[in-house]
Amino acid sequence: MAGERLDKLLASTGRWSRREVKGLIKEGRVLVDGVPAAAGEEKADPALCRILVDGAAVELCRRTYIMLHKPAGVLSATEDARQRTVLDLLSPELRRRGLFPVGRLDRDTEGLLLLTDDGELAHRLLSPKRHVDKLYFARLDRPLGEADRAAFAAGVTLADGTVCRPAGLELLGDGREVLVTLHEGKFHQIKRMTASRGSAVCYLKRLAMGPLRLDESLAPGQYRPLTVTEVMKIGGKM
Protein backbone atom coordinates (compact mmCIF):
# COMPACT_ATOMS: atom_id res chain seq x y z
CA MET A 1 0.00 0.00 0.00
CA ALA A 2 1.18 3.53 -0.74
CA GLY A 3 1.60 5.76 2.25
CA GLU A 4 3.89 6.24 5.20
CA ARG A 5 5.37 3.90 7.76
CA LEU A 6 2.94 3.38 10.59
CA ASP A 7 5.55 4.02 13.30
CA LYS A 8 6.48 7.34 11.65
CA LEU A 9 2.84 8.36 11.30
CA LEU A 10 1.96 7.59 14.91
CA ALA A 11 5.14 9.17 16.27
CA SER A 12 4.46 12.31 14.19
CA THR A 13 1.39 13.01 16.37
CA GLY A 14 3.80 13.66 19.25
CA ARG A 15 1.79 11.34 21.51
CA TRP A 16 4.21 8.42 21.39
CA SER A 17 7.90 7.92 20.68
CA ARG A 18 8.88 5.47 17.93
CA ARG A 19 9.89 3.01 20.67
CA GLU A 20 6.48 3.35 22.35
CA VAL A 21 4.74 2.87 19.00
CA LYS A 22 6.70 -0.35 18.54
CA GLY A 23 5.42 -1.53 21.92
CA LEU A 24 1.81 -0.62 21.11
CA ILE A 25 2.00 -2.56 17.85
CA LYS A 26 3.60 -5.58 19.53
CA GLU A 27 0.83 -5.62 22.11
CA GLY A 28 -1.80 -5.59 19.32
CA ARG A 29 -3.19 -2.23 20.40
CA VAL A 30 -2.97 -0.61 16.95
CA LEU A 31 -5.65 -1.39 14.36
CA VAL A 32 -5.47 -0.25 10.73
CA ASP A 33 -8.89 -0.47 9.12
CA GLY A 34 -9.88 -3.01 11.76
CA VAL A 35 -6.84 -5.24 11.32
CA PRO A 36 -4.12 -5.40 14.02
CA ALA A 37 -0.91 -3.85 12.69
CA ALA A 38 1.92 -6.38 12.39
CA ALA A 39 4.94 -4.06 12.35
CA GLY A 40 6.00 -0.43 12.45
CA GLU A 41 7.32 -0.68 8.88
CA GLU A 42 3.81 -1.42 7.63
CA LYS A 43 2.59 1.38 5.36
CA ALA A 44 -0.66 3.25 5.82
CA ASP A 45 -2.16 6.16 3.91
CA PRO A 46 -3.26 8.73 6.52
CA ALA A 47 -5.85 10.14 4.12
CA LEU A 48 -7.53 6.77 3.51
CA CYS A 49 -6.94 4.56 6.55
CA ARG A 50 -8.68 4.56 9.88
CA ILE A 51 -6.15 3.98 12.59
CA LEU A 52 -7.19 3.12 16.14
CA VAL A 53 -5.00 2.90 19.23
CA ASP A 54 -6.68 1.20 22.18
CA GLY A 55 -9.97 1.57 20.32
CA ALA A 56 -9.68 5.36 19.87
CA ALA A 57 -9.30 6.93 16.43
CA VAL A 58 -6.00 8.70 15.88
CA GLU A 59 -6.25 12.00 14.09
CA LEU A 60 -3.22 12.13 11.84
CA CYS A 61 -3.63 15.15 9.64
CA ARG A 62 -5.24 18.23 11.10
CA ARG A 63 -4.38 20.27 8.05
CA THR A 64 -4.18 19.69 4.33
CA TYR A 65 -0.97 20.28 2.38
CA ILE A 66 -0.98 19.75 -1.37
CA MET A 67 1.97 19.97 -3.73
CA LEU A 68 0.79 21.16 -7.13
CA HIS A 69 2.84 21.26 -10.29
CA LYS A 70 1.26 24.47 -11.51
CA PRO A 71 0.85 24.53 -15.27
CA ALA A 72 1.11 27.74 -17.31
CA GLY A 73 -2.22 29.45 -18.01
CA VAL A 74 -3.86 29.29 -14.57
CA LEU A 75 -3.93 31.96 -11.87
CA SER A 76 -2.43 31.49 -8.40
CA ALA A 77 -5.68 32.57 -6.77
CA THR A 78 -8.68 30.93 -5.13
CA GLU A 79 -11.29 32.39 -7.49
CA ASP A 80 -11.58 34.59 -10.51
CA ALA A 81 -14.63 35.67 -12.49
CA ARG A 82 -13.06 34.93 -15.87
CA GLN A 83 -9.93 32.86 -15.63
CA ARG A 84 -9.13 29.39 -14.36
CA THR A 85 -7.40 29.27 -11.00
CA VAL A 86 -5.20 26.63 -9.38
CA LEU A 87 -8.20 25.63 -7.23
CA ASP A 88 -10.05 24.57 -10.40
CA LEU A 89 -7.41 21.87 -10.89
CA LEU A 90 -8.29 20.10 -7.62
CA SER A 91 -10.90 17.43 -6.94
CA PRO A 92 -14.32 18.67 -5.66
CA GLU A 93 -13.51 17.14 -2.26
CA LEU A 94 -10.29 19.14 -1.94
CA ARG A 95 -11.95 22.28 -3.27
CA ARG A 96 -14.33 22.20 -0.33
CA ARG A 97 -11.48 22.37 2.20
CA GLY A 98 -10.76 26.09 1.95
CA LEU A 99 -7.27 25.68 0.52
CA PHE A 100 -5.29 28.62 -0.79
CA PRO A 101 -1.92 28.93 -2.56
CA VAL A 102 1.10 29.84 -0.45
CA GLY A 103 2.40 32.78 -2.45
CA ARG A 104 1.95 33.43 -6.13
CA LEU A 105 3.45 32.37 -9.40
CA ASP A 106 2.70 34.40 -12.52
CA ARG A 107 0.04 33.02 -14.84
CA ASP A 108 2.70 31.86 -17.32
CA THR A 109 5.05 30.42 -14.65
CA GLU A 110 5.05 26.68 -13.99
CA GLY A 111 6.25 24.61 -11.08
CA LEU A 112 5.99 24.11 -7.36
CA LEU A 113 2.98 25.63 -5.64
CA LEU A 114 1.93 24.64 -2.14
CA LEU A 115 -1.78 24.70 -1.37
CA THR A 116 -2.94 24.51 2.22
CA ASP A 117 -5.56 25.51 4.78
CA ASP A 118 -2.80 26.22 7.34
CA GLY A 119 -2.70 30.01 7.53
CA GLU A 120 0.00 30.06 10.19
CA LEU A 121 2.37 28.03 8.05
CA ALA A 122 1.65 30.16 4.98
CA HIS A 123 2.43 33.26 7.00
CA ARG A 124 5.69 31.77 8.21
CA LEU A 125 6.78 30.64 4.74
CA LEU A 126 6.01 34.02 3.19
CA SER A 127 7.29 36.21 6.00
CA PRO A 128 10.06 38.52 4.68
CA LYS A 129 11.85 38.06 8.01
CA ARG A 130 12.33 34.33 7.46
CA HIS A 131 13.82 34.55 3.96
CA VAL A 132 12.61 31.16 2.76
CA ASP A 133 14.69 30.52 -0.38
CA LYS A 134 12.95 29.91 -3.68
CA LEU A 135 14.72 28.20 -6.54
CA TYR A 136 13.71 28.81 -10.17
CA PHE A 137 14.78 27.51 -13.56
CA ALA A 138 14.59 30.12 -16.33
CA ARG A 139 15.14 30.03 -20.08
CA LEU A 140 16.13 33.41 -21.50
CA ASP A 141 16.20 35.07 -24.91
CA ARG A 142 19.82 36.25 -24.42
CA PRO A 143 22.49 34.52 -22.37
CA LEU A 144 23.59 35.91 -19.03
CA GLY A 145 27.25 35.75 -18.00
CA GLU A 146 29.73 36.18 -15.19
CA ALA A 147 29.10 39.94 -14.85
CA ASP A 148 25.39 39.19 -14.37
CA ARG A 149 26.17 36.54 -11.78
CA ALA A 150 28.20 39.10 -9.85
CA ALA A 151 25.40 41.70 -10.22
CA PHE A 152 22.82 39.20 -8.87
CA ALA A 153 25.14 38.40 -5.95
CA ALA A 154 25.54 42.09 -5.14
CA GLY A 155 21.80 42.87 -5.48
CA VAL A 156 20.27 43.97 -8.80
CA THR A 157 18.63 47.39 -9.15
CA LEU A 158 15.39 47.12 -11.13
CA ALA A 159 14.24 49.60 -13.79
CA ASP A 160 12.04 51.45 -11.26
CA GLY A 161 14.96 51.87 -8.83
CA THR A 162 13.98 48.99 -6.50
CA VAL A 163 17.08 47.33 -5.07
CA CYS A 164 16.82 43.55 -4.74
CA ARG A 165 18.46 41.46 -2.08
CA PRO A 166 21.49 39.49 -3.23
CA ALA A 167 20.34 36.48 -5.27
CA GLY A 168 22.00 33.35 -6.61
CA LEU A 169 22.52 32.98 -10.36
CA GLU A 170 23.88 29.72 -11.74
CA LEU A 171 24.63 29.70 -15.44
CA LEU A 172 23.75 26.48 -17.24
CA GLY A 173 25.57 25.82 -20.51
CA ASP A 174 25.96 29.04 -22.50
CA GLY A 175 23.92 31.08 -19.98
CA ARG A 176 20.65 31.01 -21.90
CA GLU A 177 19.36 28.70 -19.16
CA VAL A 178 19.90 29.64 -15.52
CA LEU A 179 19.01 28.69 -11.97
CA VAL A 180 18.02 31.63 -9.79
CA THR A 181 17.75 31.53 -6.00
CA LEU A 182 15.68 34.31 -4.45
CA HIS A 183 15.55 35.16 -0.77
CA GLU A 184 12.51 37.43 -1.16
CA GLY A 185 9.41 37.62 -3.35
CA LYS A 186 8.77 40.78 -5.33
CA PHE A 187 6.19 41.07 -8.08
CA HIS A 188 7.54 39.53 -11.35
CA GLN A 189 10.89 39.51 -9.63
CA ILE A 190 12.89 37.19 -11.88
CA LYS A 191 11.50 38.71 -15.07
CA ARG A 192 12.39 42.18 -13.82
CA MET A 193 15.84 41.11 -12.60
CA THR A 194 16.85 39.52 -15.90
CA ALA A 195 15.29 42.45 -17.82
CA SER A 196 17.54 44.81 -15.88
CA ARG A 197 20.46 42.80 -17.29
CA GLY A 198 19.11 42.96 -20.86
CA SER A 199 17.57 39.49 -21.08
CA ALA A 200 13.90 38.45 -21.20
CA VAL A 201 12.43 35.32 -19.61
CA CYS A 202 10.93 32.92 -22.18
CA TYR A 203 10.09 30.15 -19.69
CA LEU A 204 10.04 30.08 -15.89
CA LYS A 205 9.54 27.20 -13.48
CA ARG A 206 9.81 27.10 -9.68
CA LEU A 207 11.76 24.06 -8.52
CA ALA A 208 11.87 24.52 -4.75
CA MET A 209 10.60 26.56 -1.85
CA GLY A 210 12.66 26.20 1.31
CA PRO A 211 13.14 22.48 1.94
CA LEU A 212 10.26 21.53 -0.38
CA ARG A 213 11.28 20.36 -3.86
CA LEU A 214 8.94 19.89 -6.80
CA ASP A 215 8.22 16.19 -7.29
CA GLU A 216 9.27 15.79 -10.93
CA SER A 217 7.00 12.76 -11.30
CA LEU A 218 4.08 15.21 -11.22
CA ALA A 219 3.19 16.44 -14.70
CA PRO A 220 2.01 20.07 -14.98
CA GLY A 221 -1.54 20.17 -13.56
CA GLN A 222 -1.00 17.14 -11.30
CA TYR A 223 -0.82 17.27 -7.51
CA ARG A 224 -0.36 15.08 -4.45
CA PRO A 225 -0.51 15.45 -0.66
CA LEU A 226 2.80 16.23 1.01
CA THR A 227 4.41 13.25 2.67
CA VAL A 228 4.72 13.25 6.46
CA THR A 229 8.43 13.97 6.06
CA GLU A 230 7.71 16.98 3.86
CA VAL A 231 5.07 18.32 6.26
CA MET A 232 7.53 18.02 9.13
CA LYS A 233 10.34 19.67 7.13
CA ILE A 234 8.26 22.78 6.40
CA GLY A 235 6.93 22.92 9.97
CA GLY A 236 3.33 21.94 9.18
CA LYS A 237 0.91 20.37 11.65
CA MET A 238 0.43 16.63 11.77
Rg value, the chain, Cα: 21
Q: Exactly one of 11, 44, 105, 178 binds ligand URA (CB under 6 A); which one? A: 105
Among 141, 153, 188, 202, which residue sits at the site for ligand URA (rule: CB under 6 A)? Answer: 188
What is the strand order of the sheet 51-53 is part of?
35-36, 30-32, 51-53, 56-57
Pick the stretch among 21-29, 103-111, 122-130, 152-160 that binds ligand URA (CB under 6 A): 103-111
Q: How far is CA 224 from CA 6, 65, 89, 203, in A?
A: 19, 9, 12, 24
Q: Is 9 in the site for ligand URA (CB under 6 A)?
A: no
Residue 190 engages ligand URA in binding (rule: CB under 6 A): yes
User: Which listed residue (7, 33, 80, 106) is catalytic?
Assistant: 106
Dihedral sign of CA atoms 18, 62, 60, 68 in order:
negative
Q: Which is nearer to ligand URA, 12 or 189 (CB)?
A: 189
Binding residues for ligand URA, how many (CB under 6 A)?
8
Contact (CB, 8 A) for 94 and 66: yes
For 32, which DSSP code?
Answer: E
Catalytic-residue membership of 106: yes
Q: How far is the CB of 128 from ligand URA (least distance, A)?
A: 15
Judge contact between 167 and 179, C-beta under 8 A. Answer: no
Task: Check residue 89 for interaction with ligand URA (CB under 6 A).
Answer: no
Residues annotated as catalytic (active site), given as ranges: 106
Binding site for ligand URA (CB under 6 A): 105-106, 109, 188-191, 204
